[in-house]
Structure 1
Amino acid sequence: MKIARSASLLTIAAALAVAGCAKKKPAELPPPPPPAPSASDNGAGSGAGTGVGTGVLPGSRAEFLQQAGTDTVHFGTDSSDVDSEAQGILAAQARWLVAHPSVRVTLEGHCDERGTREYNLALGERRANSAKNALVAAGVSADRINVISYGKERPVATGSDEASWAQNRRAVTVVPQ
């Protein structure tokens, strides 16, 4: 009798354990996104220039590049001075950033292959900070901008000539996808 009672208790305990593992009803999912615009939608109409109807998501990296023109400013040799061309580019970037106050960016500083690693890391940081200062002066909150220097570690051009070096002396404004 004692064995039968123990077996019954064991069976009940096992049933309770299994019942406790029942699947929970999944949480209700949000509605699916609206359908993508068709290829014939050229952005004409009231939403032109805003990302609406253009296939470009407002606040996205693609919209930033579309409206700012570029994410890159270039610098002279051994310089972190923002020239007039770079000022125009950064002003366009700042207009977009002011219009999208929730977007945070990273400014990357880059250098050409010449010079020591330490020198180029410091120069890359000065370049990124110069670009940041221009954005802040144009109304972008400084706490939305992170700065990082890659020195000469991430070239866009691999040649060892002036044209390649000029492409690598840059600051890049990185907007998340």
Structure 2
Amino acid sequence: MKSLKFAMLACAVAAVAACSNAKNDGMYGNGSGSGGYGSGGYGSGSGASGLPSDPHSAAYFQQAVGDRVWFAVDQQSLSDEARTTLTAQADWLTKNPAFTAVIEGHADEQGTREYNLALGARRANAVREFLMSRGVSGSRLKTVSYGKERPLEICSAESCYAKNRRAVTVLSAGLAG
């Protein structure tokens, strides 16, 4: 248990460090920008992130497949663009059974903490259900809601709010079984 806590702490530190120099592709980018708490750290398995050129690596998943989808205001329904990204995620996860994933649900800063935690949970669950409908085992998928607690951008403008209404699929290697 201590090693799992240490691994999670190491991932959090790596994710925060990545934020300082991460490229943010914007709301409709391919998910290659990691900027965000926990939204780009990959497990503790040896070589878990790998090279972006290796189609079996978490780095490839993040950059080529896309690790995040966005939502409309107060919505948990998946857009056509989100479905396209999630279909690619499901295909990748099916071909790479050694990986598990935590799906993070996020919301913008509008509304109460409780409302946004519930909305983030519904968004994460919508992604999980979609991935399962495409053949990914539910035992490989966990969800967590951060509500409005982990924004990518902080400002009182729609451009910021839109980037924060998201679900991010964070991979871990060597934990499936």
Settle same-fold status: TM greater than 0.5. Answer: yes
Distance 1:85 1:55, change over 3 A: closer
Q: Name 1:97's counterpart in structure 2.
A: 93
Q: Deviations over 1:109-164 (max 9, x none)?
A: 00000000000000000000001111111111111001000000000011111110
Q: Distance in 1 between matches of 2:135 and 2:64?
A: 17
1:60 deviates by 2.6
Q: Name 1:131's counterpart in structure 2.
A: 127
1:66 deviates by 3.8
Secondary structure, counterpart of 1:98 in structure 2: helix
Larger Rg: 1
1:173 matched to 2:176? The reply is no
Conserved 8 A contact 1:67-1:96: no
Instruction: Give unpaired runs (5+ residues) of structure 1.
Output: 1-53
Which of residues 138, 141, 147 in structure 2 aligns to 1:142? 138
1:104 deviates by 0.4
Conserved 8 A contact 2:52-2:63: no
Q: Distance in 1 between matches of 2:62 and 2:149?
A: 24
Secondary structure, counterpart of 1:62 in structure 2: helix
Secondary structure, counterpart of 1:76 in structure 2: coil
Alignment TM-score, normalising by the size of structure 1: 0.66
Conserved 8 A contact 1:59-1:103: no
Moved over 3 A (4+): 54-59
Q: Distance in 1 between matches of 2:52 and 2:126?
A: 33
| Percent identical residues | 48
Matches within 5 A, 1:145-160: 145-160=141-156
1:64 matched to 2:67? The reply is no
Secondary structure, counterpart of 2:117 in structure 1: helix
Query: How many residues get paired?
Result: 123
Instruction: Give unpaired runs (5+ residues) of structure 2.
Output: 1-50
